[in-house]
């Protein structure tokens, strides 16, 4: 990794919701911490270990084109009053996944009941898979993001009708 790659990594981290990132390869070890920043409002479980592949700069997900395809789980219901719903938002920049791998069912579907602390999705950021947990107990009313698409910090992911 050269100085430019490291600077791009630091810039990416400063734009994300991450407060700390550790990258370790066979010939390189980097630890980046952000001081003075508040922790994300959504509780996140401990990140998975970094893969042993060499670190590469990651371009901002916003620069990637987004293809809009309708899937039954994401199709919007008729316009309704959403003022009584709670929004689960992304605590970081990354790629949104509804399940832990393509062969397993989604963590939550529309109509499922969730309790506070239940995993509702995963967001991958720089090869780290972060479980995103529900902040509220209730029923999933709408999935606002399609599977395997980039998400921004504070982007709404789910609408929940609180209990």
Give CA separation, 90 vs 13, 30, 42, 64, in Å.
15, 25, 8, 18
Confidence of residue 161 (pLDDT cuts 50, 70, 90): very high
- pTM greater than the 0.75 cutoff: no
DSSP string, 65-134: -------TTTPPPSP---TTPEEEE-SSSEEEESSSSTTSPPS--TT-EE-TT-EEEEEEETTEEEEEE-
State residue 62's pLDDT score.
Answer: 47
Domain with 62, as residue range(s), is: 1-163
What is the count of structural domains for the chain? 1
What are the residues facing 86 on neighbouring strands?
A: 160
State residue 8's pLDDT score.
Answer: 76
Residue 150 sits in a domain whose CATH number is: 2.40.50.100
Query: What are the tens digits of pLDDT across the range 31-63?
Result: 777 665 444 444 444 444 444 444 545 544 444
Tell me what the mean pLDDT of segment 118-140 comes to: 95
State residue 31's pLDDT score.
Answer: 74
């Amino acid at each position: 990794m050269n100085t430019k790659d490291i600077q791009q990594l630091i810039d990416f981290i400063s734009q994300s919701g991450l407060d700390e990132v550790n990258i370790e390869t066979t010939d390189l070890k980097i630890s980046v911490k952000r001081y003075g920043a508040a922790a994300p409002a959504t509780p996140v479980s401990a990140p998975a270990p970094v893969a042993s592949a060499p670190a590469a700069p990651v371009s901002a997900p916003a620069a990637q084109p987004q293809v809009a395809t309708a899937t039954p789980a994401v199709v919007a219901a008729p316009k309704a009053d959403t003022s009584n719903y709670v929004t689960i938002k992304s605590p970081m920049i990354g790629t949104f996944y509804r399940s832990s791998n393509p062969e397993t069912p989604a963590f939550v579907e529309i109509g499922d009941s969730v309790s506070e602390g239940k995993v509702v999705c995963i967001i991958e950021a720089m090869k780290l898979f972060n479980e995103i947990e529900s902040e509220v107990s209730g029923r999933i009313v709408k999935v606002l993001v399609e599977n395997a698409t980039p998400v921004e910090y504070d982007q709404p992911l789910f609408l929940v009708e609180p209990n």
